Amino acid sequence: MTKLKAVLFDLDNTLVDFMRMKKLAVEVAVEHMMNAGLPGEKQTLIDEIFKIYRRTHIESQSALEELIITKLGYLDYKILSSGIIGYQRGRDLATYPYPKVIPTLKELLKMGLKIGTVSDAPAEQCYNRLARLHLLDWMDVVITYNDTGEYKPSPKPFLLALERLSLQPKEVLYVGDWPERDIVGAKTVGMWTVFARWGEHPDAKDTGADFDLTSVEQVVDIVKRVNG
Ligand SMILES: [Mg+2]
C-alpha cells in the first residue's frame, strides 16, 4: 500500500483557534475605540462589527472604518487608529496554536513527513498567522486563496499542493474542521482525510472523513496506522 509522505492542514480553526482570536481582537479594538471617543455600548459595538463581517467577509480590513462612519457620519482617525492598535493587541494575545499542535508537527517532521497548509485565507493573513505561530519555517508548502483564486472544496488548491510537493493524492493526509470544504475538497482529489473535531464544527454529523479525531496529536497514530 502507498505510504503517507505528507500531512496537510487547514489553518483556521484546525491549527489556530481563529474565532477565539477574532473575538478577542474585536473586543480590545472596541475598548480602545470607546476610550478614544466612540459612542455606544461595548457589546452592541462588538455585535455590529461581527454583523459587518457576516455581511462582507470575516477577513474584512475595513470593518472598523465602516463602524465609525455608521456611528459618526465621518471617519475619525483618532478612533480608527486606536481601534487598529487595539485589534492588533488582542490579535497578538490570542493567536496561538491549539494544544498539542506544536509537538504533533514536530513528531511528523521527525518521522520524515512533509507538512503544509491549504487555507482559504488571503495570502497576507495566512502568512501573518503562520509567522506569529512560529510555524512558517516548518511548512514545506503553503497554499492560500491567492494561489488559485478558488475556495475549498474546489480541487484546485489541493491539486496545487500536490504539484508543489510532487506527491500523489494517496501519499497525503489532509486535516480540516469544515466537512463541506475541507473533507469534500480533499476527498475529491483522492487524499486521505481527517475531520478535526476540535475545530469550529464539533457537532458535525456524517463528515465523510476517513478518520474523525478529537485531538490533533492523534494524527500521529493515524499516520503510523496507515504506514503500517
Ligand atoms: Mg477551518
Shared domain for 83 and 135, answered yes or no, is no
Residue 209: inside a domain, yes or no? yes
| pLDDT tens readout for residues 182-204 | 999 999 999 999 999 999 999 99
Å from CA of 69 to ligand 1 middle = 31
Å from CA of 207 to ligand 1 middle = 14
* Res 59: pLDDT: 85
Indicate whether 65 pLDDT > 90.
yes
The distance of Cα 158 from the centroid of its chain, to the nearest Å, equals: 16
Shared domain for 132 and 28, answered yes or no, is no
Shared domain for 74 and 118, answered yes or no, is no
Global confidence as pTM: 0.90
| pLDDT tens readout for residues 76-112 | 999 999 999 999 999 999 998 999 999 999 999 999 9
Shared domain for 150 and 219, answered yes or no, is yes
* Res 107: pLDDT: 98
Range of the domain at 128: 6-17+97-227
Shared domain for 121 and 187, answered yes or no, is yes
Residue 1: inside a domain, yes or no? no
Å from CA of 196 to ligand 1 middle = 9
Å from CA of 143 to ligand 1 middle = 14
Shared domain for 136 and 193, answered yes or no, is yes
Among the residues of 73-133, which ranges form H helices?
77-94, 101-110, 123-132
Among 74, 94, 114, residue at a domain's last position: 94
Å from CA of 62 to ligand 1 middle = 22
Å from CA of 197 to ligand 1 middle = 11
Å from CA of 10 to ligand 1 middle = 6
